Structure 1
Amino acid sequence: MSDFQGMEDLLQDFLVEATDLLSGVDNKLVDLEKTPGDRGLLNEIFRGFHTIKGGAGFLNAHELVALCHLTENLFDKLRNGEMNVTPVLMDVILDATAIVRDMFGALERGMQPSAADAGVMSRLRSALAGELTAAKESVAAPAAPVARAMPSAPAAPVGSEPDWVALHQAVTGVVPSAPQAVPEPAAARSANDGEVAAVVNAAFGRRAGDRPGAPAPTGRRDAEKGRDNSIRVDTSRLDQVLNLSGEIGLTKNRLTSLRADILAGKSDSDTLHALDAAVSQLDLLVSDLQNAVMKTRMQPIGRLFQKYPRIARDLARNLGKDVELALVGEETEIDKTMIEDLSDPIIHLIRNAVDHGVETPDERMAQGKSGKSVVRLEARQEGDHIVIMVADDGRGMNAERLRAKALEKGLITDEEANTLDERASLNLVFLPGFSTAATVSDVSGRGVGMDVVKTNIQKLNGSIEIRSVQGKGTTFVISLPLTLAILPVLLVRLAEQHFAVPLSMVREILPIQQEDIQEVGGRATMVVRGEVMPVLPLARLLGWPQKNHPQYGVLMQSAESSFILAIDNFAGREDAVIKSLDDFRPKGVAGVTTLSNGQIVLILDMKELLGSMGDTRGVSRSSLLGNVARAA
């Protein structure tokens, strides 16, 4: 049973406020280490910690109060000039704040925290007694915090290659005109139908057993454990939503009145003009309301950034480096769900910058650099994208060395190595199992960091790019959509069935003539402005027979490759509101959406489809065009 029966609201309020306060205290402590004489900073730290202690006392969290009291006494001695800020003293204080954060975790689970680590309490008392000396630094240096391992992409269920025909029939209620494959046995068809039903139910939030057409249940908790579903919203934004809702209500009343007039036979030009004006007004208001609601999901990225200075400081101290983490663009706003999913990738990038990117003070000074290195974490908005950069002023990356290391580990062949340019060579760090570390440590060397970073960025419909100059430093540039709730898509058609592909990957649409298809190395290709590109038929990616010659090609580009997606036709762009498929997601399907005409279409995950095909270089020209002759 919870230790906080009847106090849940108070407990949650405390945890939200205290967690923010503690993050602020950690950052101010890192700043205080750089400017130990800043009295204003010390006062802010003292006030923040005192507030945390007061809230803990109200909740009768005695062990937390005891730890906060000892630490607060240290801050008081620093304020009064009885002690000086030293790296060893800061280690003790930051060890204490780390335990405070762990105690918050116990409170979040509804349990009173257990007593703090005896060693930390002993060191706090030694510090208060003036017995903590620099000689203890070698044994007292804190271990670097280990970042939580990021979850890999969710595994597709058994039978992950979906029956696309049955899937579309279940989602849309219409049998697509695409050619049917050889009929399956009844048992297999029944199994596939069950999977398809699960897809539809998952997309619209229904449970197994809900009657068809029933509305999706509301208030369901997020299936992902540990995800915070709450959000802080500026009241001015809620006021804007309320005002727009009121205006929409007035416009609805006007439309209802006009409808009654028209049904009564009133169809003069004034009435029709008034109807047209009311519909236009409603369209404008709904668009404004959608934008206003989207803004309620936006949060300053500074709430994510504030935990990184402490991580960078502890790791640098553990490695014997002098590193300053500079934060830029903390006011930049991003979708709240993306903030949570970005946490671990950025931790990996910062840890790599501190561990691999920057040199030790002695190495830097030998090269004529400042002994202190700077890692820059920056966010800014560019159009409808958010750009996040993690840049260091360290040693940079050696493309030739990366190629040699990938060859040594068997991650690429000699032939592939010879074809890699500098950009492609830098991207080798994203390969699973790639690492340049000579030895495995608690920080690096296992080759499981950067590939997970890239996977998680791609899951957010984003991309990551590396820019590096030897001797000058390395910059990782992450580009993300402003929000995940709305995805610009291009509608493409295969036979009479529509699919949606992310517009961010689309560069242009080209007509395909049979004479344009050339065979290079046994693969169907097209030449676009002097560049030879593989042609990949959408039908082949989906496992459908290709009966018609593709009429159009969509030039698509990802971080890894460029290719031409061969399709029958296209139907323009849409801003798709995504219905996710978290409970059941077939391979190659990112979600479903309802178009403006009411049609339900599948949003394709191109990266997964390409990966499932294996050889992504294209198909033979005869394979691409041969079916056309047979169909004729």
Structure 2
Amino acid sequence: MEVNEYLDVFIEESKEHIQSLNDHLLELEKNPENIEIVNEIFRSAHTLKGMSATMGYQDLADLTHNMENVLDAVRNHKLTLNADIVDIIFNAVDALESMIIDIIDGGEGKNDVTALINKLNAIGNGKQSPSNASSQSESSTSESGNIQAELDQFELTVLQQSKEKGFKNYQVTVQLQESCLLKAARVYMIFEIFEQIGEVIKSTPTVTELEDENFEFDFTVILVTQDTTDAVEQKVMKVSEIEKVTVTELDIEQNIGEGEVESQSDSEEENDVAEETNGEKTKSKQQITSKTIRVNIDRLDALMNLFEELVTDRGRLEQIADTLGNTDLQETVERVTRISGDLQNIILNMRMVPIDQVFNRFPRMVRQLTKELNKNVDLQIVGAETELDRTVIDEIGDPLVHLIRNALDHGIETPEVRKANGKNEKGTLKLSAYHSGNHVFIEISDDGAGINRDKIINKAVSKGLTTKEQANSFTDQQAYQLIMESGFSTADKISDISGRGVGLDVVKNTIESLGGSISIDSTLHEGSTFLIKLPLTLSIISVMLTEVQEETYAIPLSSIIETAIVHKKEIMSAHNKQVIDFRGKVVPLVSLKQVFNVPGEEREEDYYSIVIIRQGDKMSGLIVDSFIGQQEVVLKSLGNYLTDIFAISGATILGDGQISLIVDTNALIK
């Protein structure tokens, strides 16, 4: 078999199974008696083993095989779970993940897992046979053998009436080969045969679970037919990738006592209803198809690039229509604008990814860190379904890791300290995400020790980051921002987790490079909150176009509070800088002409056109010559040669073909 064509599918499904294993193991640790969770873990491990063996990744298959042995002993009540066993299974999942990462990087997925396998074997105590495939088959078959006991009264009545009419009632167990890749397709073909020769009364697992491939390699049905057992077996075996078919006749008399069988007319009516119902089930089974497809991200990027060109041409069309003043042309352009706007929303939504893809790695990380730090922490996740552009999702993971590690190490105290301070011994770390306007907010909060303002200021003064006089005038939020300066750390000792002064400055730089901002709020001895504000998307943004001399500059609307016309007499001076009084606050002014050295004579006018911008609690007023208006533009990178241009985040092509630079407001406020 040529496995290369299945490699992408294998990688994607393996990542999903690894995440499922981690999630369910965390649940199992909280509820060790819940056998249903053990079954879920077993199914993921079993599926991963079959996929790995088929693809030729033997180390993966061997490790999952031994994990199965332990899990099977647990679910059959031959083994009692404890913290040590869960830790070893977690270690096995880590090893599986590292092998899959190796495969993603082009490797062969090899790893020395001998020690882990020996530990798993020792836990299993040899209670399960070496051939897990056969034992699994027996286990599944024995479970499937209970299908007759699960029949309800209605189904039993239907089977009784079928027998009286000369039909035969069979229990059919079908076992697929473990090398079978498309189990759902095989199930569909088998059910097609069942429908041709008779009627399926019950299925274990259910039809929905079979369609979702939420089963191992065997399933059982109750079949009503006129064919013999050999005929049924031969017809089903014609489908490829089937290991074996077991057909046994049911004895319905044992299940129905006297007086339970209803009158002939009623039974016939119910039989008709049953046939109708099963017909509908079959019909719905045939109609259910996957409503999602996996699309290579490169294709979405190409689609976005093409649409960005369309946005540029749309701006050009709008400008031409305004210039010519032709009514028909203007109406057509308005329609094109509406349609392209709808198309833009669809394309942007296609690129949206639930932030759960980032959040789902944190429960496992928090578990590991709390063990290392000897702390007891309850992680709460809210709003994991909140969606962000894929580009932002790719970048935001590492900053969140830094913030969570920081909260666990510096924020939440040890159980002994919390108890001494009258707090619950278990700390709370809350991670939440939500939409607001065109932004997504991510909040990391804890109920720990909070931030000590005096300690931060003393450290900042000693490092020369600020003076004592300046620090005394800082608000609490301004003082807290000092912890995000490069090399700043208040840790009393260096650990593997934090304390080297590396991390929070990287967090701030990364978030600001995404067009976002981060603010900090804290109360000493009560806790801290880090609030991250991010744009929904980075490719198409709304801007205010402004003119400085003969040049056009675009200022992102997300940073603008409002625009104003200010008389020169209203401009004051403070610390040798021009400032204005804006709603009771002193706002410094920045001239874009001076910042960007725009050539041309200074205009002699009595009024300034000012754009008020804000980042966090800081504000500035940008002086421009005139306002052009709002417009949606495509953000383009300046390329590798122009990466260090001060206060410029990119450029865009306007409708008339001119290039407009996009102002980095964060840099100007600094």
TM-score, reference length from structure 1: 0.71
- Match in the other structure for 2:384: 330
Structure 1: which amino acid aligns with 2:439? H
1:11-41 per-residue CA deviation (whole Å, 9 max, x = no partner) reads: 1111111112211211221121111122221
| 2:602 is equivalent to residue 606 of structure 1 | no
Q: How many residues align?
A: 480
Give the deviation of 1:394 after TM superposition. 1.5
2:122 is aligned, of 113, 126, 139, to 126
With over 3 angstroms needed to count, the CA separation of the structure-2 counterparts of 1:229 and 1:428, relative to structure 1, is: farther
SS at match of 1:410: coil
| 2:644 is equivalent to residue 591 of structure 1 | no
Give the deviation of 1:415 after TM superposition. 2.0
- Match in the other structure for 2:635: 578
With over 3 angstroms needed to count, the CA separation of the structure-2 counterparts of 1:570 and 1:274, relative to structure 1, is: closer
Give the deviation of 1:309 after TM superposition. 0.6
With over 3 angstroms needed to count, the CA separation of the structure-2 counterparts of 1:18 and 1:86, relative to structure 1, is: same
- Match in the other structure for 2:101: 105
| 2:529 is equivalent to residue 472 of structure 1 | no
Give the deviation of 1:433 after TM superposition. 1.0
With over 3 angstroms needed to count, the CA separation of the structure-2 counterparts of 1:68 and 1:514, relative to structure 1, is: same
Alignment of 1:298-377 (within 5 A): 298-377=352-431
The CA distance in 2 between the partners of 1:603 and 1:390, in whole Å, is 31
Structure 1: which amino acid aligns with 2:75? R
1:282-322 per-residue CA deviation (whole Å, 9 max, x = no partner) reads: 33222111111111101111122111111111011111111
The CA distance in 2 between the partners of 1:447 and 1:77, in whole Å, is 48
- Match in the other structure for 1:36: 32
Alignment of 1:68-467 (within 5 A): 68-129=64-125, 230-231=296-297, 278-467=332-521
1:552 is aligned, of 580, 584, 609, to 609
With over 3 angstroms needed to count, the CA separation of the structure-2 counterparts of 1:496 and 1:546, relative to structure 1, is: closer
SS at match of 2:642: coil
Give the deviation of 1:118 after TM superposition. 4.3
Equivalent residues of 1:67, 1:116 under 8 A apart: no
SS at match of 2:89: helix
Alignment of 1:54-73 (within 5 A): 54-73=50-69
Equivalent residues of 1:328, 1:377 under 8 A apart: yes
The CA distance in 1 between the partners of 2:333 and 2:619, in whole Å, is 43
- Match in the other structure for 2:216: none
Between 1:31-40 and 1:401-410, the stretch displaced more is 401-410
TM-score, reference length from structure 2: 0.67
Equivalent residues of 2:433, 2:441 under 8 A apart: yes
Structure 2: which amino acid aligns with 1:603? I
Structure 2: which amino acid aligns with 1:466? I
The CA distance in 1 between the partners of 2:95 and 2:590, in whole Å, is 54
Q: Which runs of 5+ in 1 are unaligned?
A: 131-227, 249-271, 611-615, 617-632
1:247-279 per-residue CA deviation (whole Å, 9 max, x = no partner) reads: x9xxxxxxxxxxxxxxxxxxxxxxx98776655
Between 1:310-319 and 1:557-566, the stretch displaced more is 557-566
With over 3 angstroms needed to count, the CA separation of the structure-2 counterparts of 1:360 and 1:129, relative to structure 1, is: farther
Give the deviation of 1:500 after TM superposition. 0.9
SS at match of 1:489: strand
Between 1:276-285 and 1:384-393, the stretch displaced more is 276-285
Structure 1: which amino acid aligns with 2:64? C
Structure 2: which amino acid aligns with 1:518? M
Give the deviation of 1:597 after TM superposition. 4.5
Equivalent residues of 2:53, 2:61 under 8 A apart: yes
Q: Percent identity?
A: 35
| 2:591 is equivalent to residue 521 of structure 1 | no
1:41-71 per-residue CA deviation (whole Å, 9 max, x = no partner) reads: 1111111121111111111101111111122
SS at match of 1:365: helix
SS at match of 2:640: coil
Equivalent residues of 2:549, 2:598 under 8 A apart: no
Between 1:399-408 and 1:492-501, the stretch displaced more is 399-408
- Match in the other structure for 1:144: none
The CA distance in 2 between the partners of 1:458 and 1:583, in whole Å, is 19
With over 3 angstroms needed to count, the CA separation of the structure-2 counterparts of 1:350 and 1:405, relative to structure 1, is: same
Q: Which runs of 5+ in 2 are unaligned?
A: 127-293, 311-325
With over 3 angstroms needed to count, the CA separation of the structure-2 counterparts of 1:577 and 1:27, relative to structure 1, is: same
Give the deviation of 1:507 after TM superposition. 1.5
Which has the higher relative contact order, 1 or 2, with Cα contacts under 8 A spaced 6 or more apart?
A: 1
Structure 2: which amino acid aligns with 1:27? D
- Match in the other structure for 1:531: 585
Give the deviation of 1:560 after TM superposition. 6.6
Equivalent residues of 1:231, 1:336 under 8 A apart: no
The CA distance in 2 between the partners of 1:333 and 1:77, in whole Å, is 40
SS at match of 1:326: strand
1:231-253 per-residue CA deviation (whole Å, 9 max, x = no partner) reads: 4999xxx9xx9xxx9xx9xxxxx
The CA distance in 2 between the partners of 1:119 and 1:401, in whole Å, is 47
Equivalent residues of 2:548, 2:598 under 8 A apart: no
| 2:106 is equivalent to residue 52 of structure 1 | no
The CA distance in 2 between the partners of 1:116 and 1:322, in whole Å, is 33
The CA distance in 1 between the partners of 2:27 and 2:583, in whole Å, is 53
Give the deviation of 1:495 after TM superposition. 0.2
SS at match of 2:95: helix
With over 3 angstroms needed to count, the CA separation of the structure-2 counterparts of 1:278 and 1:537, relative to structure 1, is: closer
1:584-614 per-residue CA deviation (whole Å, 9 max, x = no partner) reads: 434133222123454331112233456xxxx
With over 3 angstroms needed to count, the CA separation of the structure-2 counterparts of 1:276 and 1:426, relative to structure 1, is: closer
Structure 2: which amino acid aligns with 1:540? Q
Give the deviation of 1:346 after TM superposition. 0.9
Between 1:430-439 and 1:81-90, the stretch displaced more is 81-90
The CA distance in 1 between the partners of 2:591 and 2:327, in whole Å, is 48
The CA distance in 2 between the partners of 1:230 and 1:416, in whole Å, is 52
Structure 2: which amino acid aligns with 1:366? A
SS at match of 1:500: strand
RMSD: 3.0
- Match in the other structure for 2:189: none
Equivalent residues of 1:27, 1:307 under 8 A apart: no
Equivalent residues of 2:99, 2:111 under 8 A apart: no
The CA distance in 1 between the partners of 2:662 and 2:493, in whole Å, is 43
The CA distance in 1 between the partners of 2:578 and 2:421, in whole Å, is 51
- Match in the other structure for 1:154: none
Equivalent residues of 1:313, 1:324 under 8 A apart: no
- Match in the other structure for 2:565: 511
- Match in the other structure for 1:208: none
